[in-house]
Amino acid sequence: MGRGVRILMKIPAVRRVMVRLWNVEEAIAKQQATLNALELHRTNVGEAIARQQATLDALEAHHGQLNAEQAKIESLVQAEHDKLDELIAPHLQPATRHAIQAVQAQIDALIAQVDRLRADGEKLGAGLTEVSQHLPPAHRMNLEATLHGQQLQLGALNSTITAQQMQLAALNDIVRQITAAAASVPPVTAAPGGNAATNAVQTSEPVALVAARIQAGRPVVRPYSFEQLLSRQVERFGPDLVLNIHVPKTGGHTVNALFRQMGFVPLSLDMNTNDFFGSFREEIWLKNYAAPPQRHPYLLTGHMRLDQPIFRRLWMQHVVVTVLRDPIERMISNYNFMLRRPANPWHDEVVKGGMSFVEFSARMLEAIGPQYSFFDDTGQGTFARTGTATAQACFDNLLNKVSYYGLTDRFDEFAVTTGYVTGRARILALPPMNVTKETEDLGYPPKTDLTDQERDALTTALKDDIWFYQQAVKEYERRMSDPRLQAVMAQVLPLVKSSREMVSKVLTLDDPMDPGLRTFRPVR
């Protein structure tokens, strides 16, 4: 048998057939091994899916427990509020009247003191005028110092009276708000050893509690509209509270620099706590805005959306601003910024060639959302996009919930408009701010243009955002055509341009000690 096989193998045709059979068998063995590996992988994937499903089920159950706990807590809070209302009602009106009478008595005494000081000041003024020509210089200076001290004391008392009158007005407001409900208040039961009226007058805590609750419950006000700002229908000293919705890569840092230059104190959003008040207590800041003008002007700024909780707490007049940018140019700027930031979650993948520009753009849109999403007020107030409003709804919010906005490539107009509507002239010599350029260059070439395929893909992905921006530009052009703005722009824009050019020259001056460095640079 073996000899016959060897003879057959000497025949070329038989040998070729046998070789093919061996190759086929080898290929079949390899395919079987691959199938076995795939079957093992499928089993592992199935087990992983089962584990993930178990985890999701556990999370869903935990979510249900949290909802139940939240409902329970809300019920307890409401019950506590009801108890507080029940405790406050019997003491509210008498205690408030007593407080009003006490404040009124203080004001009357202060007014009498002011009258006396004013009379003394007039006498001193007349005496100073009469004898100033006959007294030695030293005596004359003493008289002038005395008169000046009286005037300072008079000014301080006037301020005290103003504050007391504001307190009286607030107490009167409390009385007006609770009088309507007086008929439904149950009779006050006197405590042992006293009567109801005496007990009510001696209880001062409920008045403070009610005042705090009324302050906290002040209705939220809408921001100044663009027309109100143009028509100067604002506070006498001009708007002093501005919120900047800083859409990433639209020039928000330059906006912050502009307002700082105009005297505003910036409070930046802490991305970790989602709050502006990390360095001092929020109630101190709110107290500032409970005082009459002129107050410290503040700028609240950061990567926030219209669903940020701060917009639901503003009971004082305020301005909301933002700057918009062409969506494709904005995405390119995001990409170039990422190239210089190793901490960016996609930096390594991009620089190693594992992620294309189009894929990076898709990741950005998924993580942060398009530009219009920053004007979505339906979310949870986080930097990550949680709202579901359409581009049309966000555009409506831009027109109705943002006082005015600018365009990145026409920032000079935004600066002039800002100075005009806030009544602040320090808008010149604003140094250019570019976070990307100020970040250390790691040597990766920036993206300056797109291929046809990239532009087509990005145009499709950003379709709604491009529509939003185009509509915003049309409305911007309409607003800029206002004759009042046209007259201001014609005079001021050339000055802004000239000032910027001079600042640029100053910033690029060579250091006389080292021509490779700039004259005006930080000492490192």
CATH of the domain at 275: 3.40.50.300
318 with 241: CB under 8 angstroms?
yes
Do 66 and 103 belong together in one domain? no
242 with 319: CB under 8 angstroms?
yes
Q: Strand 514-518 and strand 510-511: pairing? A: antiparallel
Q: Which helix (H) or strand (E) holds 406?
A: strand 404-407
Q: Would residue 503 count as lying in a domain?
A: no
Do 208 and 264 belong together in one domain? no
Radius of gyration of the chain (CA): 36
Q: Name residues whose C-beta falls within 8 Å of residue 424's C-beta, 6 or more positions apart in sequence.
A: 238, 262, 263, 418
Residue whose entry in the numeric block shows the structure tokens 């100075």: 419
Give 128's DSSP letter.
Answer: H
Q: Would residue 204 count as lying in a domain?
A: yes
Do 168 and 312 belong together in one domain? no
Do 127 and 203 belong together in one domain? yes
Do 143 and 231 belong together in one domain? no
Q: Would residue 506 count as lying in a domain?
A: no
Do 53 and 104 belong together in one domain? no
Q: How many residues does the chain have?
A: 524
- Last residue of one domain, picked from the residues 38, 71, 88: 88
Do 156 and 235 belong together in one domain? no
Do 240 and 212 belong together in one domain? no
CA–CA gap between residue 288 and residue 295 (Å, rounded): 7
Of 3, 49, 32, 401, residue with least CA distance to 226: 401
- Last residue of one domain, picked from the residues 57, 88, 119: 88
pLDDT (0 to 100) of residue 127? 57
Q: Would residue 192 count as lying in a domain?
A: no
Q: Name residues whose C-beta falls within 8 Å of residue 120's C-beta, 6 or more positions apart in sequence.
A: 150
pLDDT (0 to 100) of residue 396? 97
Q: Would residue 500 count as lying in a domain?
A: no
Q: Would residue 504 count as lying in a domain?
A: no
pLDDT (0 to 100) of residue 11? 75
CA–CA gap between residue 378 and residue 522 (Å, rounded): 44
Q: Which helix (H) or strand (E) holds 67?
A: helix 12-88
CA–CA gap between residue 495 and residue 339 (Å, rounded): 36
Return per-residue pLDDT of the chain as tens, 524 residues. 666 666 766 677 766 777 777 777 777 777 877 778 777 877 777 776 777 676 666 666 665 666 666 666 556 656 655 665 565 455 444 545 565 566 566 666 666 665 666 666 556 555 555 555 555 555 555 555 555 555 555 555 555 555 555 555 555 554 444 444 444 434 433 333 333 333 333 333 343 343 344 345 578 889 999 999 999 999 888 899 999 999 999 999 999 999 999 999 899 998 888 888 765 567 667 777 777 777 789 999 999 999 999 998 888 899 999 999 999 999 999 888 888 888 788 888 888 888 899 999 999 999 899 999 999 999 999 988 999 999 999 999 999 999 999 999 999 999 999 999 999 999 988 876 665 555 566 678 888 899 999 999 999 999 999 999 999 999 999 999 999 999 999 999 999 999 988 888 888 888 888 888 888 877 65
CA–CA gap between residue 358 and residue 239 (Å, rounded): 43
Do 436 and 457 belong together in one domain? yes
Do 143 and 234 belong together in one domain? no
CA–CA gap between residue 382 and residue 303 (Å, rounded): 9
Do 458 and 470 belong together in one domain? yes
Roughly how many angstroms between the first and final C-alpha of the chain, as a whole number?
93
CA–CA gap between residue 363 and residue 344 (Å, rounded): 12
| Number of domains composing the chain | 3
Do 297 and 432 belong together in one domain? yes
pLDDT (0 to 100) of residue 220? 83
Q: Would residue 496 count as lying in a domain?
A: no
Whole-number Cα distances in Å, 142 to 124, 128, 138, 234 = 11, 10, 6, 44
Q: Would residue 286 count as lying in a domain?
A: yes
Domain that holds residue 99: 92-179+198-216
pLDDT (0 to 100) of residue 118? 60
Number of C-beta neighbours around residue 253 at 10 A: 15
- Last residue of one domain, picked from the residues 88, 111, 144: 88
pLDDT (0 to 100) of residue 272? 85
pLDDT (0 to 100) of residue 33? 79
pLDDT (0 to 100) of residue 200? 35
pTM score of the predicted model: 0.59
